[in-house]
């Protein structure tokens, strides 16, 4: 009699390949005709933007660019800092064994390092290192066996599997217009020389057919003032935003993974009612995306055999992705910046920081992180004819985040934001720096399971020893594996060896097996 299966359909994404690499990006940045020649570079900052990625056999093709913001001292008498922008494109062919066409690619990119050489007053040679992590995800639909009939003595082992189903996704663009006015204790603006705007989602609510997003735009800006004693000032502020994204099919209780990116920024300086240049006017185009997930538990047949017949089973290993959740942690950091390369400090103008993760490990349900904050500062020197000098310092930090269900092989996506930095001069060549790091983590799991997709009764009879057998359990044995090997049942083994329902075998334990039927 042929076997008849009750089948269930799995439709999910599975992680089929992962890889990491570092890409060296190098190119020239030319000073525009509107800007004066460079005498000295004070700061150079960069943002990696990926424009496209395509998965081919065992490779991923990546195209992108690094957009640089540069603050420099120009040639000339006043020596007031200037800013300029530049971009260097790059292509990266990344080896990812197991990748295949039509699979999707989830990329995590980080700017690890920037260096430069001033070739002449109009040209910079810039070298950067971009770290890239690639996770290749294949959407699968597979019919698996959840029950079977056709023989009276089939023994079945069932296993549960956790799945994450994508219920829906949505995206929206929102144009935020906001004027940031300087506090009363800050001098007016002569020229804006640097700004960085980073979105941070603080809360979200999944409702019927929509998702409400709340967040902030964190703003850090540097500007040149009209005052000689306070030549350069900085301002840090948060702009709140709220937006609703339509997602047909959404409902209360779904897991949500939101994402916010700044796609375009327009900045200019406005006068306040008194005619003073004290308002930074921002127009920010914000791209918002949400993915909605539903967790599902499914039971399937992981193993099977028949006591009186031999079975040929067809199995397949899958690695379904499971969204484990997201979390946020804030950690404080503190360090001393030793200014050894430049002249001694007379007055500190501004300090900014970027957090880089160098080590990430999982232990006892915690994400353990190690990294450093790259601190860059501007200052005036006591005995120097040059108005502005700069310093760079790396301040190490450690952090830990607790996440339910996380494992050592979980896929972890991290975002960082440095905010609320304070600094004080403790000596002519030492600056004490404090601040906070916001750590956002999204966690995915992928546990390999082997499922039965088909089985047939073999024409060959099973090898079934008869009589009384004394068996000593080996490492890794279970009652199921012993019963299957000797074509008996777990119930018979328990009854014959007087084992209760909670007891399994351990290595070295003795089992009596009695088979009195020859096949």
What is the pLDDT at residue 143?
Answer: 83
- Taking a C-beta distance cutoff of 8 angstroms, is the pair 207, 250 a contact? yes
Walk across the sheet containing 4-30 and list its strands: 4-30, 123-149, 104-120
Q: What is the pLDDT of residue 8?
A: 84
pLDDT of residue 316: 87
Please name the helix (run of DSSP H) or strand (run of DSSP E) that holds residue 208, with its range, or none.
none
Task: Please give the Cα distance from 90 to 513 (Å, whole number).
Answer: 67
Architecture of domain 463-515: Roll (3.10)
Would you place residue 1 in the very low, low, confident or very high pLDDT band (cuts 50, 70, 90)? low
CA distances from 146 to 3, 5, 353 (A): 13, 7, 54
Please state the separation of Cα 109 from the chain's center in Å: 9
* 3-class DSSP state of 493: helix
| Nearest alpha carbon to residue 445 among 173, 137, 222 | 137
* pLDDT surpassing 90 at residue 462: no
**pTM, entire model:** 0.84
pLDDT band at 11 (very low <50, low <70, confident <90, very high): confident
Interior angle at CA 471, CA 467 and CA 476, nearest 5: 135
The structure tokens listed for 514 are: 């009695």
List, as one string, the DSSP characters of 145-159: EEEEES-TTEEEEEE
Mean pLDDT of 314-337: 90
Q: What's the CA gap between 70 and 47, in Å, rounded? A: 12
Confidence of residue 160 (pLDDT cuts 50, 70, 90): confident
Task: Please state, in angstroms and rounded to a whole number, the distance separating the CA atoms of residues 450 and 356.
Answer: 38
Domain range summary for the chain, segments of one domain joined by +: 1-153+307-320+450-458, 162-299, 323-446, 463-515
Residue labelled with tokens 């992705």: 321
For 260-286, give one letter per residue: b (16+ CB within 10 A) or e: bebeeeeeeeeeeeeeebbbbebebeb
Q: What is the mean pLDDT of the chain?
A: 91
Q: How confident is the model at residue 387 (pLDDT cuts 50, 70, 90)?
A: confident
Report the alpha-carbon distance of residue 49 to residue 65 in Å, rounded. Answer: 5
CA 110 – CA 358 distance, rounded (Å)? 11
Residues contacting residue 492 through CB under 8 Å, at least 6 positions apart: 483, 514
pLDDT band at 217 (very low <50, low <70, confident <90, very high): very high
* Residue range 165-196, pLDDT digits in tens: 888 999 999 999 999 999 999 999 999 999 99
Mean pLDDT of 35-57: 94
What percent helix, strand, coil does the chain show, rounded to 5? 5, 70, 25
**C-alpha to C-alpha distance for 199 and 211, rounded to whole angstroms:** 17
In this prediction, residue 240 has a pLDDT band, given cuts at 50, 70 and 90, of very high
Please, are residues 241 and 217 in contact by the beta-carbon 8 Å criterion? yes
Q: Distance between CA atoms of 292 and 211, rounded to whole angstroms?
A: 9
Q: How far apart are CA 352 and CA 433, in angstroms?
A: 10
Percentage of the chain with pLDDT > 70? 99
Question: Does the pLDDT at position 460 exceed 60?
Answer: yes
Strand pairing class (411-427; 389-402): unpaired
Cβ contact 110:12 at 8 Å: no
- pLDDT of 228 above 80: no
User: Closest Cα to residue 307, out of 1, 517, 4?
Assistant: 517
The span from the CA of 495 to the CA of 109, in Å, is 59
Model pLDDT, residue 519: 44
Q: Please spell the DSSP secondary structure of 454-489, one letter per residue.
A: EEEE-SSPP----EEEEEEPPTT--HHHHHHHTT--
Q: What's the CA dihedral at 12, 439, 135, 107 to 10 degrees?
A: 110
**Is the backbone of residue 275 left (phi > 0), alpha (psi -120 to 50) or beta?**
left
Burial class, 156, CB count within 10 angstroms (exposed 0-12 / middle 13-18 / buried 19+): middle
483, 155 contact by CB (below 8 A): yes
The pLDDT tens digits for 249-262 are: 999 999 999 999 99
* Greatest extent of the chain over all pairs of C-alpha atoms, in Å: 105
Residue 517 scores a pLDDT above 60: no
DSSP for residue 490: H
What's the pLDDT tens digit per position in 301-322? 889 998 888 888 888 888 888 8
pLDDT of residue 77: 65
SS3 for 496? helix
Model confidence at 449: pLDDT above 90: no
What would the pLDDT profile of 279-297 be if each residue is shown by its tens digit?
999 999 999 999 999 988 8
pLDDT higher than threshold 70 for residue 518: no
Could you count the other beta carbons within 10 Å of the beta carbon of residue 29? 21
**Degrees to nearest 5, angle at CA 85 with 83 and 90:** 150
In a 3-state reduction of DSSP, which class is residue 491?
helix
Instruction: Look at residues 395, 331, 330, 327 and name the one whose alpha carbon lies nearest to residue 366.
Output: 327
* pLDDT tops 70 at residue 441: yes
- Residue listed under structure tokens 């490990």: 361
């Amino acid at each position: 009699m042929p076997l008849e299966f009750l089948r269930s359909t799995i439709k999910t994404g599975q992680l089929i390949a992962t890889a990491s690499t570092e890409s060296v990006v190098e190119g020239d940045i030319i000073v525009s005709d509107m800007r004066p020649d460079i005498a000295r570079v004070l700061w150079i900052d960069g943002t990696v933007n990926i424009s496209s990625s395509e998965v081919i056999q065992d490779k991923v093709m990546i195209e992108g660019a690094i957009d640089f913001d540069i603050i420099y001292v120009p040639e000339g008498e006043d020596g007031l800092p200037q800013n300029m922008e530049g971009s260097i494109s790059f292509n990266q062919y990344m080896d990812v064994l197991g990748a295949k066409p039509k699979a999707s690619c989830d990329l995590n990119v980080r700017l690890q390092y920037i260096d430069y050489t001033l070739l002449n007053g109009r040209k910079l040679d810039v070298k950067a290192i971009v770290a890239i992590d690639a996770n290749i995800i294949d959407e699968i639909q597979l019919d698996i066996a959840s029950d079977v009939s056709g023989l009276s003595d089939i023994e079945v082992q069932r296993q549960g599997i956790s799945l994450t189903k994508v219920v829906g996704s949505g995206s929206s663009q929102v144009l935020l217009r906001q004027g940031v006015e300087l506090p009363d204790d800050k001098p007016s603006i002569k020229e804006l020389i640097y700004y960085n705007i980073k979105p941070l989602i603080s809360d979200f609510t999944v409702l019927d057919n929509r998702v409400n997003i709340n967040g902030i735009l964190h703003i850090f800006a540097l500007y040149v003032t009209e005052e000689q004693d306070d030549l350069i000032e900085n301002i840090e502020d948060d702009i709140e935003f709220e937006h609703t994204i339509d997602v047909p099919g959404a409902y209360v209780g779904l897991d949500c993974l939101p994402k916010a990116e700044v796609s375009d920024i327009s900045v200019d300086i406005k006068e306040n009612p008194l005619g003073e240049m004290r308002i930074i006017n921002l127009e920010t185009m914000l791209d918002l995306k949400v993915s909605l997930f539903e967790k599902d538990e499914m039971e399937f047949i992981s193993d099977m055999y028949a006591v009186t017949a031999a079975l040929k089973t067809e199995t397949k290993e899958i690695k379904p992705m499971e969204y484990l959740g997201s979390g946020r942690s804030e950690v404080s950091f503190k360090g001393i910046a030793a200014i050894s390369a430049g002249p001694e400090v007379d007055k500190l103008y501004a300090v900014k920081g970027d957090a880089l993760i160098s080590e990430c490990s999982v232990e006892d349900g915690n994400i353990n992180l190690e990294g450093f904050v790259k601190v860059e500062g501007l200052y005036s020197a006591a005995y120097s004819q040059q108005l502005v000098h700069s310093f760079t310092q790396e301040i190490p930090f450690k952090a830990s985040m607790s996440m339910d269900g996380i494992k050592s092989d979980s896929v972890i996506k991290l975002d960082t934001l440095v905010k609320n930095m304070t600094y004080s001069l403790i000596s002519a060549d030492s600056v004490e720096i404090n601040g906070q790091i916001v750590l956002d983590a999204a966690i995915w799991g992928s546990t390999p399971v082997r499922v039965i997709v088909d089985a047939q009764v073999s024409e060959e009879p099973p090898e079934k020893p008869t009589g009384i057998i004394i068996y000593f359990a080996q490492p890794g044995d279970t009652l199921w594996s012993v019963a299957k090997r000797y074509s008996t049942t777990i119930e018979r083994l328990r009854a014959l060896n007087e084992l209760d329902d909670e007891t399994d075998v351990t290595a070295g334990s003795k089992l009596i097996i009695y088979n009195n039927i020859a096949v």
